[in-house]
Chains A and B, each alone.
Chain A
Amino acid sequence: MITDIFTLLVRFIFLVGLQVTILNNIQLNGYINPYLYVLFILLLPVKFPKIPAMLIAFFVGVTIDIFTNTIGIHAGATVFMAYARPFVLKIFSPRDGYETDATPNIKDLGLQWWLAYSSVMVLIHHFALFYLEAFRLTEFFSTFLRVVLSTIATLILVLITQFLFGKSKRER
């Protein structure tokens, strides 16, 4: 229990720190803004209680917002993503269900499963994020392009991070 909380804390500091110090300063062009911090929500254990997950998502979002002067935007998108998490997990659940202590990661559940799960979740987050940011529908298509390109960029970063740091529960 204590080690679990410690792991979450370290992961939070690492991902949010990486996001606000480096990723927010990488400016490729107006359409590609990767948001790696969503990996924090993606990696919450399958059986993590739903309501605390949503409150944690709100806290993570607000922290990112404070650094980007966009109070409410990242928080809203991350809460939306955390709300959708149990439903997405249910859709992609293996035939005989998840193990009780399963964590959604590549090593335990496989690359194919991970790609399906993370692309749906990241798309949900980025969709909410960029439309909240634009806050109007007149720029519908340019915002949509932004959603798609940023989702691809985030997915690539998420995959790289998983291959570099991902640990299986069984190996430990």
Chain B
Amino acid sequence: MKNLFLFLYRNNYSIIFFLLEILCLALIIRNNNFQNASAFNSSNKIVGSVMEVVNYMNEYINLKATNKNLAQENARLRSLMPDAYYESNVLRNSVSDTIKHQQYSFIVAKVINNSMARRNNYLTLDKGSMQGVKPEMGVITSQGVVGIIKNVSAHYCTVMSMLHKDMRISAKFKNNNYFGSLAWEGTDPTIAVLKDIAKHVVFKTGDTVVTTSYSAVFPENILIGTVANADIKPGENFYNIRIKLSTNFSNLTYVYVVDNLLKSEQRKLEEATVNNDH
């Protein structure tokens, strides 16, 4: 027993070092998990307000690009206005809206912190639980998919960006609906890789890739990007398709948080179905 205490006393430097490193590893592993992410992150109020000041200065630098994006979006929305349509189909007007339920609603949020150079990138938005943001909601812009909400505080939320090692998005070709899983390989912020597309599927460079509604996070048919190139290793059955992302992560300013009003219903039903199997 005496020897044990002597050993602990002599090596107290290394022992404290190992304890600290174990604590860090525990924090990292805990943080990798969506459900019990730690409270120490930039959705914290003090950190959020520091970032808002930094962002306030950055906004001036990005004014030009932001204006251009907003103008583009205005043009797109204007083209969707009823005035912009020629009424060729009289029947359409007779369809009553009572048989359609609204499934998605969108919350506008401003990006107050953003990164794209690290292996695992996050964004911070200036909307939180007070505005109805909840974890695991999708985040999009007019250009395409951005990420998924991770942590939420009263006034801020953090977003796990598309550019993150743990990010998987269910994606499909717009023209033939074959679907696969999209991930980011960690180097080029404009390119992601689509996997699980079988050998027999026909596609070509420039084909559009959009989201599916399988995960209940994003609405269907939100733009992700276009096919840049593809290869298939000898002896394998699935393509490795490199997708040019349509979202420009370097000048994100305003984004939309997607609130799927029917998500809990879909999830509950799917969980019940899986549980019945066991």
Contact between chains at B186 and A30 (CB < 8 Å): yes
Which listed residue (A24, A29, A72) contacts B24, Cβ 8 A? Answer: A72
Residue of B nearest to A57 (CB): B20
Contact between chains at A72 and B119 (CB < 8 Å): no
Task: List, in ascending order, chain A residues with CB within 8 A of B86's CB.
Answer: none
Interface segment, one of B36-44, B168-176, B209-217, B229-237: B36-44
The answer to whether A134 and B165 touch (CB under 8 A), given A54-B20, A58-B20, A66-B44, is yes
Task: List, in ascending order, chain A residues with CB within 8 A of B41's CB.
Answer: 66, 69, 71
Interface segment, one of B97-105, B110-118, B131-139, B195-203: B110-118
Interface segment, one of B25-33, B218-226, B253-261: B25-33
Task: List, in ascending order, chain A residues with CB within 8 A of B124's CB.
Answer: 69
Instruction: Give min CB distance, B278 to chain A, whole Å.
Output: 31
Q: Mark B1-30, 1 if CB is under 8 A from A, else 0.
A: 000000000001110110011011111101
Q: List 12 A-B contacts (CB under 8 A).
A: A25-B58, A30-B117, A30-B189, A31-B187, A61-B24, A70-B28, A71-B38, A72-B24, A72-B27, A79-B24, A134-B119, A139-B186
A142 on the B face (CB < 8 A):
yes
The answer to whether A69 and B122 touch (CB under 8 A), given A27-B250, A29-B117, A54-B17, is yes
B120 on the A face (CB < 8 A):
yes
Which listed residue (B26, B44, B58, B120) contacts A70, Cβ 8 A? Answer: B120
Contact between chains at B42 and A66 (CB < 8 Å): yes
The answer to whether A135 and B17 touch (CB under 8 A), given A28-B117, A30-B187, A69-B158, is no
A51 on the B face (CB < 8 A):
yes
Task: List, in ascending order, chain B residues with CB within 8 A of A24's CB.
Answer: 115
The answer to whether A76 and B47 touch (CB under 8 A), given A25-B54, A69-B41, is no
Contact between chains at B120 and A33 (CB < 8 Å): no
Contact between chains at B40 and A76 (CB < 8 Å): no
Task: Please count how many residues in chain B sit with their CB below 8 Å of the partner chain's CB atoms.
Answer: 42
With contacts A68-B42, A69-B158, A130-B119 known, what are 15 further pairs, Cβ within 8 A?
A21-B50, A30-B117, A30-B119, A33-B118, A51-B16, A54-B17, A54-B20, A62-B40, A66-B47, A67-B47, A69-B122, A69-B150, A71-B30, A71-B41, A76-B24
Q: Contact residues of B with A, CB < 8 Å?
A: 12-14, 16-17, 20-21, 23-28, 30-32, 38, 40-42, 44, 47, 50-51, 54, 58, 115-120, 122, 124, 150, 158, 165, 186-189, 250
A50 on the B face (CB < 8 A):
yes
Task: List, in ascending order, chain A residues with CB within 8 A of B188's CB.
Answer: 30
Task: List, in ascending order, chain A residues with CB within 8 A of B115's CB.
Answer: 24-25, 27, 68
A67, B117: Cα distance in complex, Å: 15
A66, B31: Cα distance in complex, Å: 12
Closest 8 CB pairs of A and B: A72-B27, A76-B24, A72-B28, A27-B117, A69-B122, A72-B24, A83-B17, A69-B41
A47, B93: Cα distance in complex, Å: 83
Q: Mark A57-88, 1 if CB is under 8 A from B, else 0.
A: 01001100111111111011001100100000
Contact between chains at B165 and A79 (CB < 8 Å): no
Q: Mark A18-41, 1 if CB is under 8 A from B, else 0.
A: 001100110111111100000000
Which listed residue (B31, B50, B186, B187) contacts A71, Cβ 8 A? Answer: B31
Contact between chains at B21 and A71 (CB < 8 Å): no
Task: List, in ascending order, chain B residues with CB within 8 A of A116's CB.
Answer: none
Contact between chains at B119 and A133 (CB < 8 Å): yes
Residue of B nearest to A30 (CB): B187
